Amino acid sequence: MPWDPLILSRMQFAWVIAWHILLPAFTVGAASYIALLEGLHLATGRDVYLHVSNFWTRIFAVAFGMGVVTGIVMPFQFGTNWSRLSELAGNIIGPTLAYEGLMAFFLEAAFLGVLLFGRRLVPPWAHFIAALMVALGTLFSAFWILATNSWMQTPAGYTRIDGRFYPADWFEIVFNPSFPYRFAHTVTGFYVTTGFVVLGVGAYTIRRGQFRDEGRVMMMTALSLLAVLVPLQMLIGDQHGLNTRRYQPAKLAAIEARWDTGSGVPLTLFALPDQTGEQNKYAIEVPYLGSLILTHSLDGTIQGLKDFPADQRPPVAIVFFAFRIMVGLAALMLLMVSVGWWLRYRRILFYSVWYLRACQLAIPIGFIAVLAGWTTTEEGRQPWTVYGLLRTADSVTPSLVGHDVILSLLLYAVAYVIIYPTGFFYVLRLVRMGPRGMPPSPPIEAGRPRMPVTELPSPSKSEAVP
C-alpha cells in the first residue's frame, strides 16, 4: 500500500497545526503587550505608547486574521481525518474544545473590531477594555486547547465503556496531571516569542533612526519582560520535565535517548539514536548530569526505552533532536537578555550596533523554539492519541483512502504556501513603514447622526460634514 491515509493524515495535521501555531505564538503575547501599552498610555498620557500600540495593533491585525482563518481549519480536522478519535473521545474532548469557541473566539472577535477600527468611535477607556478583552480571549483560548491536549497526553477523570471515553469527573479532566505545567510552559513560551519579536523590531527601528523614541520603548519593555520571562520559562520547563517523567516515561526516555533503565545516568549532549538497534551512536555524555537534571538527585532512576514494547515507543531521533533545539535556543535567549541588560547598565545599549543587529537576527528564535517544543511533545506521545489507551492508527477516519488525503494535503499545502509568504512580506512592509506619528485622537464620534459616505474617495470629507 504505497499511500497510507494514516501517515498522510498525520502529515496533514502536522502541516496545518505547525503553520497555525506560529500565529497564536505571536498573537497571545502581542494581545497582552498591546493591552499593556494601552494601559500605559491611559496612565501616563504619553503619546509614544500610543504610537507603539497603534504600530503593533496593525501587525497584530494581520497575524490575528490569519490565525482566525487557519484556526477554523483545525476543529474540522477532527471530523474529516480523525473521526474515530471524535467518536470515541468526543464525550470528553468535545466540550473542552467547544468551551474554547464559547469563551475565547467570540470574545476575541467581538472586541477585535473595536480594537482595530474603533479608536475614534469609543472613549479611550473602552478602547483599553477592548484590548484587555482580546488579550483575555487569547488566554482563554490557550487554556481550553491545552486542557484538551493535556487530557489526551495524561488522561484522567474518565471511564471507558465499549472503547468509548465517558466523563467521570470534569475537574480531573480539565485539570489533568500535565495541564498546569503545559499551560504555564506554553503561554510563557508564547510571551517570550512575542518578546523577541518586539525586541528585534525595536532594534531595527532604532538602527533606522527615524523613530528612536518608539524603538527605545519597544526594546526596554521587551528586555524588561524577557528578563523575568526567560528564567521563569526555564524553571517551568524543568517542572514540566519532572511531570513528563512521572506520567509519560517513554516520552522522557526518547527525549534523553535513554535505552536502558538506570540510576545515576549521564546526560547525553549529542548522539545519533538508532531505533532498530536500540542504542546510540557517537554519544557525547556528561556523567550523572542526566539524573541530576531529571530527578534533582545524583542517583535518581530514569526508565529506559527497552522497558516499553517496541510498538509503544515514539520515534526517538525526532524527539531527541527537537528537544535539544528547544533547550539550545533557550540558552541563547538567556545570553541575549543578559548581554542586553549589561549593555544597558553601561548605557550603550542603543548604540551597540552589533547587539541591535543580533536582536534583529533573533526575531524568529521564539517561533523555532515553540515548533521544536511542540514537536517534542507531540512526537513524544506517539504512537498514541489518548496516551496509553487509544492508538493514532485507530483514530483515523476509516472511510478515507490514500488519494483523498493526498489531494487535501496538496490543497492545504498550496493554500498556505500562498498566504504565509504574502502575510510575511506584508508584515515586513508594516515594519519598514515604522510607527508613524499619529495625530492626536480626534473627538469621539459614536452616537452622531449618520453620515453620507458614498462620496469617495475623500477621507477628510466625513470629518467636515456635521
Partner 1 sequence: MTEPAISFVGIWTTLIAAGVFLYVLLDGFDLGVGVLHGFARERADRDLIMNAIAPIWDGNETWLVFCGLALMAAFPLAFAIIIPAVYFPILVMLIALVFRGVAFEFRYEDRPRRAFWDCAFQVGSLVATFAQGVVLGAFIQGFRVEGRQFTGSSLDFLTPFSILAGFALLFGYGLLGAGWLIIKTEGALQDWARRQGRRCLVGVVLGIAAVSLWTPLMNHHIAERWFSLPDILFLWPVPIVTLAVIIWEWRALNGSVDAAPFIAAILLFLLSYLGVAISLWPMIVPYQFTIWEAAASPSTQGFLLVGTLFLLPVILMYSGWSYWVFRGKARSDIGYH
Segment 108 to 137, residues that bind partner 1, using CB under 8 A:
109-114, 116-118, 120-122
DSSP letter at 157?
Answer: S
In terms of CB distance, is 78 or 190 closer to partner 1?
78
Name the nearest CA neighbour of 201 among 432, 34, 31.
432
- String marking each residue 264-293 x if it binds partner 1 according to CB under 8 A: ------------------------------
439, 440, 443, 459: which one binds partner 1 (CB under 8 A): 459
Q: Is the Cα dihedral 43, 44, 45, 48 positive or negative?
A: negative
d(CA 418, CA 420): 6
103, 227, 267, 283: which one binds partner 1 (CB under 8 A): 103
Residues 431-450 that bind partner 1 (CB under 8 A): 446, 450
Residue 145 CB, nearest distance to partner 1 (Å)?
A: 11
Residues 379-408 that bind partner 1 (CB under 8 A): 397-401, 404, 407-408
Give, to the nearest 10 degrees, the angle between helix 179-208 and helix 353-361: 130
Q: Is position 429 an interface residue for partner 1 (rule: CB under 8 A)?
A: yes
In terms of CB distance, is 71 or 380 closer to partner 1?
71
Transcribe 369-406 into DSSP letters: HHHHHHHHHHHHTTTEEETTTEEGGGTS-TT--HHHHH
d(CA 27, CA 222): 15
d(CA 91, CA 148): 12
Q: Is position 95 an interface residue for partner 1 (rule: CB under 8 A)?
A: yes
Contact 318, 373 (CB under 8 A): no
3, 125, 166, 424: which one binds partner 1 (CB under 8 A): 166
Grid cell 551597540 is found at: 352
* First-residue to last-residue Cα distance in the chain: 72
The single-letter code of the amino acid at 45 is G
Count of residues that interact with partner 1, criterion CB under 8 A = 83
70, 150, 205, 248: which one binds partner 1 (CB under 8 A): 70
- Per-residue cell: 298: 545524583
Transcribe 429-452 into DSSP letters: HHHHH-SPPPPPPPPP-TTSPP--
Residues 219-238 that bind partner 1 (CB under 8 A): none
3, 7, 125, 159: which one binds partner 1 (CB under 8 A): 159
Q: Is position 66 an interface residue for partner 1 (rule: CB under 8 A)?
A: yes
Binding window for partner 1 (CB under 8 A); candidates: 64-72, 307-315, 317-325, 383-391: 64-72
